[in-house]
Amino acid sequence: MGPAVTGTVTISGRFFNMAEEGGVDEESAHKDKGDWLFLEVESCQGLAKADAFGGSDSFVIIRAKNAEFDLDREVCRTSVVEDSLDPIWYDDCYELPPPEDKNGFELKKTTFQLEVWDSDSIKVGEFLGKSQFQGDIFTKQADLQTFTFPLQGGELEHNPPSVYNSSQYEAQGLKVPQPNPTRRSKGPTDHEKELETSNAATFLSIGVIMGYIFIGVVAFGFIFEDWTVIDCMYYAVLTFTTVGYGDFALESDDWASQLFNSFYAILGISIIGWALNVIGQKMVQEQVKALAAANKKASRPVVDNFEPSEHDTEAQIEEKLVKKLEKEAEDNAAAMRERWKKIKKNVWPIVAMFTIGSVVFGLLEGWTVIQSFYWCVITSLSIGYGDFAPAKQSSRLLAVLFIPLSVAIVSGCIGGIVNVFIEEEIKRTNARLLSRELTVEDLDEINKDGGEGVDRLEFVEFMLKAMQKVDQSLLNQLHAQFDKIDEDGSGHLQKEDLELAAKKKLAMRRKMKLASKKVGSTVIFTKKGASRASVMKALKTSSDAKIATTGADRIPNTGQAQGAKS
């Protein structure tokens, strides 16, 4: 049973003449056979929660349906927007060609079915709703017309769309670059979300590790060895954490078990590498935020409010110097308190982990306090000498949870402590660079082009390189990127530059399609009686059909939703 269907979907579109707008000849543009239909999927609002984390990884499918001509085909499929109940798409645009046959159907008389789906890791997930509209809601004009449709539920007569299907090629062949990138611009929040790691990835990594342990239980408990379930779980954890006390090893000399264990160990190391990569992305994002805060504090104004002026009296100079010293002392004290606060925040989890582990495993195994503390430290640091190891089943079962948790917590907290001192060094370095006087040698170094002086851009680039925030190679790439975007060569970026670049890209895409006749109604829209084999044969000749994207099986629609023009 899927989630309750809620929300809306918004699309834009218009009819246009390819010969008039595409920069191609009339014959290639099918001028005498009808106008093309441009469709853009913009957004969804208020979708149902499709996963346990309260979000949805959603995408939209548009299917063209015409019963008279046996047409039921996917023509649009958007990219997946993760962790959002209000997804927005900016670059999912499609151009549908008119029929090749003059006596064929018309796009304006075609029914288009919108379907919203949730995407899981390796398959399509829950159905989130559908709607319908007729092609004739759009007219031939210069501006896009935008419609919002309410999503509806209903029984589906066929299976959900699959990730791998031939229809993915057909839909991708109709996709075009965004022709107007300035019509709907991305906000700052959208750019930040592009850099964020999905929270679900952390839980997914835990699920993969549990699957790895399950494989170990089956293999070593029922196939190669006769171990207990707890021993199998314990062995799996020792393997993928690379602790390896040496107290547990294969008892069988069978080549099959040794070969399996070799690949099982390689898989375990890979899992840890992947899991650490997921966690590392989160840590990097937090570190970037921390460094940004540190740089903000270090980047104080060059002109200090407490700096004496040549017009001040001796009393005023003395008063300002005293206030300046007091301010510096307060800032240093505050920085020291903040530094210790961060250190304690990372130390306490380590202390708690060592304390709990020492007490619990000491009681279970009969170790002394020093022995159990020693075991916790060696285990948490993934050293595993093998002189101490859990021997009881209860201890090993607890170790299955304790070992991965302690390794993750201790390594993460140690990294956090190291990061505190890195931040302090960055702040001190930046402060020295911002406070030092500019010399003649610096001016000569900055002014390498031999100009009359140093402009603002040259000074900023010099300081960024001095602070080791960028290198010359990165600056050269940024300059090259600027030149590429600056279509008119004016030296300034404007909306017109983005629009001109988009038009050139779209025109090139259209010419490549039409010149090679690789996108046409004979492939996308087939008349009743046309064989599927002939369609697939035509698709195989299309270079556009080689572009990979997600695909879908046919899903007929029941019911029709009304579109409200927005």
CB 514 within 8 A of CB 18: yes
Indicate the DSSP class of residue 69: G
CB 66 within 8 A of CB 14: no
CB 86 within 8 A of CB 43: yes
pLDDT at residue 434 in the model:
72
Mode of pairing for the β-strands spanning 58-66 and 71-77: antiparallel
Q: Is the pLDDT of residue 40 over 90?
A: yes
Span 31-58, average pLDDT: 82
Residue 12, strand partner residues: 40, 146
Give the other-Cβ count within 10 Å of 216's Cβ.
24
* Contact partners, residue 239, CB within 8 Å, separation at least 6: 216, 264, 265, 268
CATH fold for the domain made of 202-433:
Helix Hairpins (1.10.287)
* Contact partners, residue 460, CB within 8 Å, separation at least 6: none
pLDDT at residue 243 in the model:
81
> Can you say how many angstroms the Cα of residue 450 is from the centroid of all Cα atoms in its chain?
44
The strands making up 71-77's β-sheet, listed across from edge to edge, are 71-77, 58-66, 111-119, 124-134
Strand (E) or helix (H) holding 342: helix 314-365
More confidently predicted of 16 and 253: 16
* Residue-wise pLDDT tens digits, 126-148: 889 999 999 999 999 888 999 99
| Model confidence, pTM | 0.53
Give the other-Cβ count within 10 Å of 61's Cβ.
24
Token digits of residue 387:
């002189």
pLDDT at residue 467 in the model:
73
CATH fold for the domain made of 8-174+525-565:
Immunoglobulin-like (2.60.40)
Residue boundaries of the structural domains of the chain: 8-174+525-565, 202-433
pLDDT at residue 279 in the model:
57
Query: Smallest Cα–Cα separation from 123: which of 82, 165, 172, 162?
Result: 162
66: confidence class by pLDDT, cuts 50, 70, 90? confident
Span 337-354, average pLDDT: 88
What percent of the chain stands above pLDDT 90? 18
